[in-house]
Amino acid sequence: MSGINGILEIGKRSLTGQRVGIDVTSHNIANASTPGYSRQRLTLQTTEPIKETYGLLGTGVTMVSIDRLREGFIDQQVRNANTYLGEASQQARILGQIEAATNEPSESGLGAMMTRLFNAFQDLSLHPEESASRNNVVQSASMMSDTFHRLTAGLVQLKGDLALDTEARVDQINRIVKEIYDVDQRILGLKASGVAANDALDIRDRKLDELSTLADVKVSVDDLGSVLISLGGMQLESRTGYIGLTTKTVGTTLTVVTEGTSIPVTVQSGELGGILETLNVTIPGYESKLDTLASALITRINQVHAAGFGVGNPVPTGINFFTGSGAKDIAVNNVIVANIGAVASSSDGAPGNNDVAVALARVQNELLLNGNSSTIGQFYNGFISDLGATVQTVANDAESQQLVLKQLENQRSSISGVSIDEEMVELIKFQRGFDAAAKVINTVNEMYLTIIEMV
Amino acid sequence: MRITENIVSYNYLENVNQTREKIVDLQAQMASGKRVRKPSDDPRASDAIIRLTQALASNEQYSRNVEDGRGMADVTSTTLDGAAELFLTFKEVVVKASNGSADESFNIYAQQVDQLLSQMLSIANTRFNGKHIFGGTQTLEVPFTLSLDRQTVTKNPNGVGGTISYPVSDVLSQKVNISGEEAFQGTAIFDLMIQVRNTLLGKTPPTKTEVDAVNAGFDHLLQTTSTAGSYVQGLDALTEHLDQQKTKLMEFLSAEQDSDLAESVMKLKQQETMLEAAINTGARILPKTLLDFLR
């Protein structure tokens, strides 16, 4: 197809090529800020040359494909970072709330309240005859009990919130998995017709990113280009279908199971993993520590108190100071609230005797906990500093994962992101190419005219 | 590395955010005056702060105990001083009466002794802060009662003995009272005074045994007075010790807890400068693309 017509054909192909180039460039510019978008490139190639006696004669340009620029390896790393970040940030959020609820160090935390009670016992030992000292003891003990209640109620409330959080996350996972399945079907359809579904792939990659924040999913791609998603060894999605998840309470543990068949699914990381870990392990641990503390206080104070005498006629004795058995129900005995004379201070009934008041105050220094190695104060301080150290660790984890993620996002953006500068250069390049191709056609036109005029 | 506009603006925002976060933290430190506001700010320091705060609260409580105890011991010591002085007068009367005198004088001496007996009883029933200081642990009941015929002094049937001690440290307690038993040997001091008065009323000088008993009684009162004085001294020493301890504890606490204002201000200035620089640079580079030059 050489000759003038051939040149015209080359010009036409060139015009189309440059126009599609501008098309792709403008698509890139339009999506420069679209989340998850990968820049696309038009791949041009020379058309089959014609063999002439003097050599191969070029026949112009053709468009091979429009490709997206994407690095699967970085995607995988981003998703891993998302998973860790999800776990650490949720734990930092939840434990931070618990830490704030303890209100330590301060004048109104449980530590200060316990110190206050023991000091009230000492004040009682100074003036065992005065009802003001007894009042002070009962007041301080009630305030301490209230603080115990406030802490445990806070934890119970938090567990309720976390159960709701868990359900919301599970619903989100179900929604995303379904969306990925739908996108997958579109990708497979397009692929069957021989076209790379660039934009659909971008959408799928973004959904997978979202999913990886929620849970530690494993993602692989099968030979047809559909993804396989599994969580804790359970296949959630493939090109043939998907399954949903739901929550189920087993004993006191909230677990994730498959919908309908109720097969347990282990979630170890991601936001969901982080929430489940705090809900099922960390918070019950804290609750049991508070219970241990309250129970030690109740048992020991009651033991000392019941052996003592209060004031009144008859002289009250053998009365327990606290009722209840743990942090939830510790309370000053109603008998004492009704008659503060029942607060014991004396070991023999003499009103000036302060032996029992002193013994009650000394409970503060007794090694009652951790296998008789810690005082009540030391045990509580240990609890608070453990909590503080854990919060600091998870917060640091979250921060460092955030940095890792930032680096990876930059790397990904460096490959897939749209650069306006670059697109401008492309635009100018294709525009000039378009101009030049038009010029070629113009030239051919003039050549025709020349030939016609010759006739 | 290929840099896109999104990387530039993302990093810019990230940096500005980080700087702002640090500024907010520094402002909170300066406003509260505290470097550690929650355990996770610095778990080690926070642990120390909680422990030091508790030690400080205990220290204040022990100081209060010592102060109260000192009041009690001081009143006891002063009152016993008065009792010893009174007994000295009694002793002088006894000495004068032993040296022989006219019949009328015995009557006068006997009246003097009877007067002194009343005063001694009133001393023995002294109250401080609503407590009978010589009642032992029976602080609410009158320790000693003189019969109507002024012939016998009886103790409170519930007793006038018993120790009152206040806690002054995590392990130590300090005795702060002298019981009626200790001070007046039960009712022996009063019995002796009654006996001598009756002897004098019989217009005879006190016997040798009586004089010896009076001397012994005086020695006993002096000794108890000095015991009470030693309690006061011991408690004074404790006050000093607790005060020193408090100063140290507050120093440690401040070192762990308080923010260094000068340092915070300096850091804040630094962060402010960084923020300004970041925003300034952002304003220059963010909107710039090739587009701006394609006119």
- pLDDT of res. B9: 85
For residue A105, whether the previous peptide bond is cis, meaning omega lies within 30 degrees of 0, is: yes
- Closest of A67, A39, A37 to residue A209, by C-alpha: A37
Model pTM score: 0.86
Lowest mean pLDDT among A23-37, A186-200, A377-391: A186-200
Q: Which two tokens stand for residue A228?
A: 């396989």
CA dihedral A266, A270, A271, A277 (to 10 degrees): 50
- pLDDT of res. A455: 81
> Tens of pLDDT along A247-285?
999 999 999 999 999 999 999 999 999 999 999 999 999
Chain B interface includes A352 (CB < 8 A) = yes
Closest chain A residue to the Cα of B37, Cα to Cα: A105
Angle at which helix A4-30 crosses helix A420-454, to 10 degrees, equals: 160
- pLDDT of res. A2: 65
- Closest of B265, B256, B270 to residue B30, by C-alpha: B265
- pLDDT of res. B4: 87
Interatomic CA distance for residues B246 and A6, integer angstroms: 102
Burial call A248-261: b when 16+ CB within 10 Å, e when fewer: eeeeeebbbbbeee
> Tens of pLDDT along B70-95?
999 999 999 999 999 999 999 999 99
At which residue do the structure tokens 């006219």 appear? B102
Contacts of A41 in chain B (CB under 8 A): none
Chain B interface includes A250 (CB < 8 A) = no
Which domains can be identified in chain B, with CATH numbers? 75-252 (1.20.1330.10)
Element (H, E) at B87: helix B43-98
| Residue-by-residue DSSP string for B117-180 | HHHHHHHHT-EETTEETTSTT-TTS-SEEE-TTSS-EEE-TT-S----EEE-SSS-EEE----H
Which chain B residues in 27-46 lie under 8 Å from chain A, judged by CB atoms?
36, 38-41, 43-44, 46
Element (H, E) at A230: strand A227-231
> Tens of pLDDT along B228-259?
999 999 999 999 999 999 999 999 999 998 98
Interface test with chain A among B61, B134, B293, by most A beta carbons within 10 Å: B61
Contact A365 B46 (CB under 8 A): no
Which chain B residues in 184-203 lie under 8 Å from chain A, judged by CB atoms?
none
Contacts of A100 in chain B (CB under 8 A): 38
Chain A interface includes B167 (CB < 8 A) = yes
Phi (first) and psi of residue A326, to 5 degrees: -155, -170
> Tens of pLDDT along A217-237?
999 999 888 999 999 999 999
The partner residues of B150 in beta bridges, in order of sequence, read none
Lowest mean pLDDT among A74-78, A373-377, B1-5, B229-233: B1-5
Contact B162 A125 (CB under 8 A): no
Contact A351 B140 (CB under 8 A): yes
Interface test with chain B among A107, A410, A425, A426, by most B beta carbons within 10 Å: A410
Q: Residues with Cβ < 8 Å from A348, sequence gap 6 or more?
A: A309, A355, B137, B162
> Tens of pLDDT along A104-151?
888 889 999 999 999 999 999 999 999 999 999 999 999 999 999 999
3-state SS string over B262-287?
Answer: HHHHHHHHHHHHHHHHHHHHHHHHCC
Q: Residues with Cβ < 8 Å from B173, sequence gap 6 or more?
A: A358, B165, B166, B167
Mean pLDDT for the stretch of residues A350-373: 94
Lowest mean pLDDT among A58-72, A184-198, B279-293: B279-293
Phi (first) and psi of residue A67, to 5 degrees: -115, 150
- Closest of A316, A272, A362 to residue A134, by C-alpha: A316
DSSP state at residue B33: -
Residue B153 pLDDT exceeds 60: yes
Contacts of B43 in chain A (CB under 8 A): 385, 388-389, 392
Chain A interface includes B175 (CB < 8 A) = no
- Closest of A5, A2, A1, A10 to residue A451, by C-alpha: A5
- pLDDT of res. B101: 66
Contacts of B170 in chain A (CB under 8 A): 365
Interatomic CA distance for residues A308 and A313, integer angstroms: 15
Ramachandran quadrant class, A3 (left: phi over 0; alpha: psi -120 to 50; beta: rest): left
Contact A47, A60 (CB under 8 A): yes
- Closest of B151, B153, B150, B178 to residue B164, by C-alpha: B178
Question: How close, in Å, is residue B120 to chain A by CA atoms?
Answer: 23
Band the pLDDT of B295: cuts 50, 70, 90: low
Residue A326 pLDDT exceeds 80: yes
Residues of chain A with pLDDT > 90, as a percent, come to 89
Q: Which two tokens stand for residue B278?
A: 């970041």
- Closest of B192, B186, B188 to residue B206, by C-alpha: B192
Contacts of B68 in chain A (CB under 8 A): 126-127
Q: Residues with Cβ < 8 Å from A361, sequence gap 6 or more?
A: A118, A119, A121, A122, A124, A125, B167
Under DSSP, is residue A245 helix (H, G, I), strand (E, B) or coil? strand
Closest chain A residue to the Cα of B49, Cα to Cα: A105
Mean pLDDT for the stretch of residues A352-361: 95
Residue B269 pLDDT exceeds 90: yes
- Most distant CA pair in chain A: distance in Å? 143
Question: How close, in Å, is residue B11 to chain A by CA atoms?
Answer: 8
Interatomic CA distance for residues B282 and B13, integer angstroms: 9
- Closest of B229, B237, B75, B73 to residue B166, by C-alpha: B73
Nearest to B162 among A353, A389, A410 (CB): A353
Contacts of B155 in chain A (CB under 8 A): none
Interface test with chain B among A98, A358, A365, A385, by most B beta carbons within 10 Å: A385
Contact A180, A204 (CB under 8 A): yes
Contact A414 B173 (CB under 8 A): no
- pLDDT of res. B292: 79
Question: How close, in Å, is residue A166 to chain B by CA atoms?
Answer: 26
Chain B interface includes A307 (CB < 8 A) = no
Question: How close, in Å, is residue B290 to chain A by CA atoms?
Answer: 5
- Most distant CA pair in chain B: distance in Å? 140
Residue A190 pLDDT exceeds 70: yes
Contact B68 A126 (CB under 8 A): yes
Band the pLDDT of B181: cuts 50, 70, 90: very high
| Alpha-carbon separation of residue A98 from A280, A388, A391, A393, B120 (angstroms) | 15, 10, 9, 15, 65
Q: Residues with Cβ < 8 Å from A185, sequence gap 6 or more?
A: A239
Which chain A residues in 389-448 lie under 8 Å from chain B, judged by CB atoms?
389, 391-392, 395, 406, 409-411, 413-415, 417-421, 424-425, 428
**Between these two residues, A203 and B294, which has the higher pLDDT value?**
A203
Interatomic CA distance for residues A36 and A445, integer angstroms: 46
Question: How close, in Å, is residue A305 to chain B by CA atoms?
Answer: 17
Contacts of A420 in chain B (CB under 8 A): 4-5, 289-291
Residue B55 pLDDT exceeds 90: yes
Contacts of B140 in chain A (CB under 8 A): 129, 351-352
DSSP state at residue A346: B
> Tens of pLDDT along A140-165?
999 999 999 999 999 999 999 999 99
